[in-house]
Amino acid sequence: MNERTPHSDAPLPSEGRPGALLPEYARRHLQGTVAFAIEEDLGDGDLTAGLIPEDSTATATILTREQAVLCGSAWAEEVFRQLGGVTLEWHAGDGDLLEPGTTFCTLRGNTRRILTGERIALNFLQTLMATATTARRYADAVAGTRVTILDTRKTLPGLRDAQKYAVLCGGCQNHRLGLYDAFLIKENHITACGSITDAIRAAREQGPGKKIIVEVENLDELREAAALEPDQIMLDNFTPAMIAEAVDLAPQSALEVSGNCTLEDARALPGNRDLYLSSGALTKNVQAVDLSLRLVDPPL
């Protein structure tokens, strides 16, 4: 369950073909996300780039100063597609592990456009590479176990789809994409519906065929949920002893461990069945990767 590959319907780009194999959900807002990023930065025009002769051309390279998993090539590519006048050559593909000092992209074209798009493209790359690199660390930590790491909806505003894709590049898997593709019945929903049983029954009535995930906070709630056999049960802040007992109490539902479970704890989870471990840290506790774009003199 923990190979460094995404779901079979979401293969990774490779061989320098940015975005060629992006999953559909990652494509849907890509152009709009990039367009907004350009608009908020460019405004009425790039004053400083205007100092450069309009017909000037240049070559630039992008390198990483730290070890990181490449991700975000399609977003960088889209930045310069929308600005125009610049071509990008990729020397690695999304999902590749890059060592410090690795040059992974060469840009050629109009100097003004290269410099106008520099920070916009790097912002996408540094954030998505950070997400993918964090995911790779998590995936590596549970290698050889029956634990699969899932992301959450704790993503950066406007970058949900991009960060979900980055998680795949790092070797972890996606939880639900949003509020629309699965039921996730949590404490407040249960309170508002009256009980776990009432909430699950309502979900089955209103969304036949939709995946149903239920959060439980103790073993009694687990027993109630397990009796209705939802697709997945989220064990919120369960102790290791409670998790071990839960494995036997809910044989018909997938089990997801959530909250207060470190990577070290994950390796110690019961190994007699497949388990999910969801972590918001994959997308919200990331530190931007240190990247550098420099003009090459003379141009290549």
9 as an active site residue: the answer is no
Tell me phi and psi for residue 74, to 5 degrees: -65, -35
Among 66, 140, 231, 236, the one annotated catalytic: 236
With b for 16 or more beta-carbon neighbours within 10 A and e for fewer, the 184-221 pattern comes to: bbeeebbeebeebeebbeebeeeeeeeebbbbbbeeeb
Q: Single out the catalytic residue among 27, 28, 65, 119.
A: 119
Instruction: Clarify whether 236 is annotated catalytic.
Output: yes
Is 154 catalytic? The answer is yes
What is residue 11's predicted lDDT score, i.e. its pLDDT? 38
Q: Could you say which residues of the chain have pLDDT below 70?
A: 1-20, 298-300
Measured CA to CA, the distance from residue 283 to residue 162 in angstroms comes to 10
Q: Tell which CATH architecture fits domain 24-139+286-296.
A: Alpha-Beta Complex (3.90)
What per-residue confidence (pLDDT) applies to 264?
A: 81
- Residue 131, pLDDT score: 98
The two three-digit tokens of residue 138, written as one number: 């998590």
pTM listed for this prediction: 0.90
Q: pLDDT tens digit string along 274-286?
A: 999 999 999 999 9
Q: What is the reported pLDDT for 136?
A: 97
Residues making up the annotated binding site are 119, 152-154, 176, 186, 215, 236, 258-260, 279-281
| Residues annotated in a binding site for substrate | 119, 152-154, 176, 186, 215, 236, 258-260, 279-281
Residue 88 near residue 107, CB atoms below 8 Å: yes
Are 154 and 131 in contact by the 8 Å Cβ rule? The answer is no
Catalytic residue among 146, 186, 204, 284: 186
CATH number for the domain formed by residue range(s) 142-284: 3.20.20.70
Token output for 259:
């909250």
DSSP summary character for residue 96: P
Q: Smallest Cα–Cα separation from 36: which of 75, 88, 94?
A: 75
Cite the residue boundaries of each domain of the chain with CATH code 3.90.1170.20. Answer: 24-139+286-296
What are 70-93's pLDDT values in tens digits? 999 999 999 999 999 999 999 999
Give me the pLDDT at residue 154, please: 97
pLDDT at 163 (0 to 100): 98
**Per-residue pLDDT reduced to its tens digit, 232-283:** 999 999 998 999 999 999 999 999 999 877 778 788 888 889 999 999 999 9
Ranges for all domains in the chain classified under CATH 3.20.20.70: 142-284
pLDDT of residue 176: 96
User: Which candidate in 17, 154, 223, 284 is catalytic?
Assistant: 154
CB-CB contact of 51 with 96 (8 Å): no
Tell me what pLDDT residue 21 has: 75
Please count the other Cβ atoms lying within 10 Å of the Cβ belonging to residue 280: 14
Catalytic residue status for 224: no
Is residue 119 annotated as a catalytic residue, yes or no? yes
Which of 94, 215, 221, 256 is an active site residue? 215
